[in-house]
Every structure is written in structure tokens, then in C-alpha cells.
Amino acid sequence: MGQEVKGKARIEGKEVEGRLYLEADQLLFRGGDKRVAIAAKDVKSAEAKEGILLLTVGRKKFEFDIGAQAPRWAEKISNPRTLVQKLGVKPDSNVAYIGSRDPDLLTELEGAAASVSKRLARRDYDFVFAGVEGPAELKIIDGLASTIKPGGGVWIIFPKGRPDLKAETIIPKGKSGGLVDNKIARVSDRLTGMKFVIPVHLRK
């Protein structure tokens, strides 16, 4: 999920009030009838000066007055976290990825985690990623609560845009398996991830 802040943008020599959104792959400003979208990959530099977020994109300069948030946003834009970092995976994490596996996500996990298993071979994983392509595959959630550490997580990875595979469908399956949802994240243009954890009062 992205972040947002109220502020002002200087567009075509005029100051426009609106909201600035920081997503995984772009920076978006909306104010009045103005809309500016900047792809993260196109940002050459980001710095903060007296509450102003200054971006260099090609030969263009963009200024966003967002006050005290400017230094933090400049840092995030200059040093973006990887996808697996956003999903909570650390260098010492032990991970399993089962079900319908996305090749790109699998590659990132294998390059970031201490170990990545393609089957459930233990009961103390930091994270279990379970890929599903349709509602019939949600049965994969059953029993996953017993495969993670008390503070671990289960990520259900599913395709966007399917009317039969939304949060309202997935959350009850997680609850019936002894898990509660606590986060959702963009995985790719095609995939979304929903994180489930063991309820605090049930952790041992």
C-alpha cells in the first residue's frame, strides 16, 4: 500500500494544492484539475530543502511542498525498498513458497532469504507464500497456521481483477484456518498479496 500527504505542487509556474501519493512504482500528485504521474524508475535525483521535495526527472524539475515529510520521502525515493523487503522478508528468513508460484517473486525470494522451500518441510517458517489462481485453490490455506513461527506470516498471492477472488472471499478462509489478515500489498501488475498472521492471544 502506498503513502500520501497533503501539500502543494508547482506546475507550469503555478502553485496547486492537492495530495501527493507515493506508490511502489510511481509518485502521483492530484490537485484541482491537475494530475502529475512520475515513474519511480525515471527519477534521477530526489532531495529535500526547507520542506520542499525536489525531483529531477530527465531534464525536468518538480517541486512539492510537503513540509516535514520532505526528507523522509526523498530518502524513500532515493533508496527504495525491494519487493521482498516490503513483504517483510529478511536475510535470515526461512521461507516456503507453495501453490501457483510466480517466477519473478520466486527469484526475488531465493535471492533475499536464507532458505526457500517449495514444499512444507518444517513447522517454524518465518513466512509461507501460497499462490492461488482461483477460489478452489484457497483450500491451500488449511493447516498453514501450524507451519509458521508464532510471529510469522502467511502471504496469499492471488491475481488482481477476479470477481470471485477478492478479500471478501479470502479473509473467511484465513479465519477458518486460525489466521487473521493484517496487511495487503502489491506484488506485481498482475498479482496482489494478502498477509495473515496467528492472532496474538493464540501465539505460544
- On whether both 74 and 92 belong to a single domain, the answer is no
pLDDT at 26 over 90: no
pLDDT of residue 2: 62
Using one digit for the tens of pLDDT, what is the confidence trace for 89-134?
999 999 999 999 999 999 999 999 999 999 999 999 999 999 999 9
Scanning the chain, the segments in alpha helix (DSSP H) are 70-78, 83-86, 103-112, 167-176
- On whether both 188 and 147 belong to a single domain, the answer is yes
Structure confidence at residue 1 as a pLDDT band (50, 70, 90):
very low
- On whether both 52 and 133 belong to a single domain, the answer is no
> Domain of 20: which CATH number?
2.30.29.30
Domain residues for 183?
84-202
Residue where one domain finishes, among candidates 32, 65, 80: 80
Angstrom distance (rounded) from CA 186 to CA 116: 21
- Angle at the Cα of 109 (from 104 to 115), degrees rounded to 5? 145
Using one digit for the tens of pLDDT, what is the confidence trace for 130-158?
999 999 999 999 999 999 999 999 999 99
User: What's the pTM?
Assistant: 0.73
